[in-house]
């Protein structure tokens, strides 16, 4: 994957891209905050259900730990932790891996925001909380990749995709106060997984995650 222990040259190229995406996310947050958007409710002035908020946060924590455990079994089971390194995989798999990061981040935002809406917070508040959840959920996973040498590595282009997903979701509420663009995903098993099961997955629970040939 072209990894290196001191990726200074690579970082000087990729980090500006990450910074630009973070600026986009910050601008969306700023736009939502203008005019007291966070303080106003979409309909009547109903107070948020803070007890429900606490339960949702607790549930998110449990789901996050469970997801990290599941990924450790699917992705990291054959690797040992090593030094942190950067691996530039932006040109591999025809960028489908980046689409996966983008889609996952977006869907986390979408479903988390739907949960927060049940607690009587405004649409824009829920969109903000959802966007932050999507970004914060995937960032530690990418950091874990950085310690998986030589199979994986911290990918700056993955981080860009992790920011673009929340930016698209949050940006729609900043512009239109509603969701108009919804990315979709489908998967079907392929015969290629039988040829390279160690790479594309040994069973369906791994293949839908690893076999990009069957993803749409």
Q: How much is the pLDDT for 114?
A: 92
Given a contact cutoff of 8 angstroms between Cβ atoms, the answer to whether 2 and 87 are in contact is yes
What's the pTM? 0.71
What's the burial of 38, exposed, middle or buried (CB within 10 Å: 0-12/13-18/19+)? middle
132 shares its domain with 190: no
Q: What is the largest CA-CA distance in the chain?
A: 59
Report residue 58 as tokens.
Answer: 């607790």
76 shares its domain with 180: yes
**pLDDT in single tens digits along all 216 residues of the chain:** 444 444 555 455 555 555 555 555 555 555 554 434 444 444 456 788 888 888 888 888 888 888 777 776 666 666 667 788 888 777 877 788 888 889 999 999 999 999 999 888 888 889 998 999 888 888 888 888 888 777 778 888 899 999 999 999 999 999 998 999 999 888 898 888 888 888 888 888 888 888 888 888
Q: How much is the pLDDT for 66?
A: 83
Given a contact cutoff of 8 angstroms between Cβ atoms, the answer to whether 206 and 187 are in contact is no
175 shares its domain with 204: no
77 shares its domain with 28: yes
116 shares its domain with 193: no
What's the burial of 7, exposed, middle or buried (CB within 10 Å: 0-12/13-18/19+)? buried
Q: How many domains does the chain have?
A: 2
**Inter-CA distances, 176 with 105, 128, 159, 166, 215, Å:** 20, 14, 26, 15, 30
Token pair 């405004």 is found at 122
């Amino acid at each position: 994957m072209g990894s290196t222990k001191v990726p200074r040259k690579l970082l000087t190229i990729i980090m500006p891209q990450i910074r630009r995406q973070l600026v986009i996310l910050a601008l969306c947050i700023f736009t939502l905050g203008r005019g007291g958007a966070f303080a106003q409710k979409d309909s009547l002035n109903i107070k948020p259900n803070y007890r429900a908020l606490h339960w949702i946060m607790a549930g998110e924590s449990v789901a996050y730990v469970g997801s990290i455990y599941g990924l450790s079994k699917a992705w990291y089971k054959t690797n040992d932790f090593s030094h942190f390194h950067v691996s530039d995989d932006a040109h591999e798999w025809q960028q489908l891996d980046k689409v996966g990061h983008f889609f996952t981040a977006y869907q986390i935002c979408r479903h988390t925001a739907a949960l927060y809406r049940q607690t009587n917070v405004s649409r824009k508040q829920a969109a903000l909380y959802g966007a932050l959840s999507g970004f914060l959920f995937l960032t530690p996973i990418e950091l874990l990749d950085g310690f998986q040498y030589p199979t994986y590595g911290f990918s700056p282009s993955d981080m860009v995709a992790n920011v673009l997903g929340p930016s698209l979701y949050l940006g729609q509420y900043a512009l239109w106060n509603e969701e108009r663009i919804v990315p979709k995903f489908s998967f079907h098993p392929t015969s290629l997984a039988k040829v390279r099961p160690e790479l594309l997955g040994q069973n369906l629970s791994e293949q839908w995650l690893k076999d990009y040939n069957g993803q749409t």
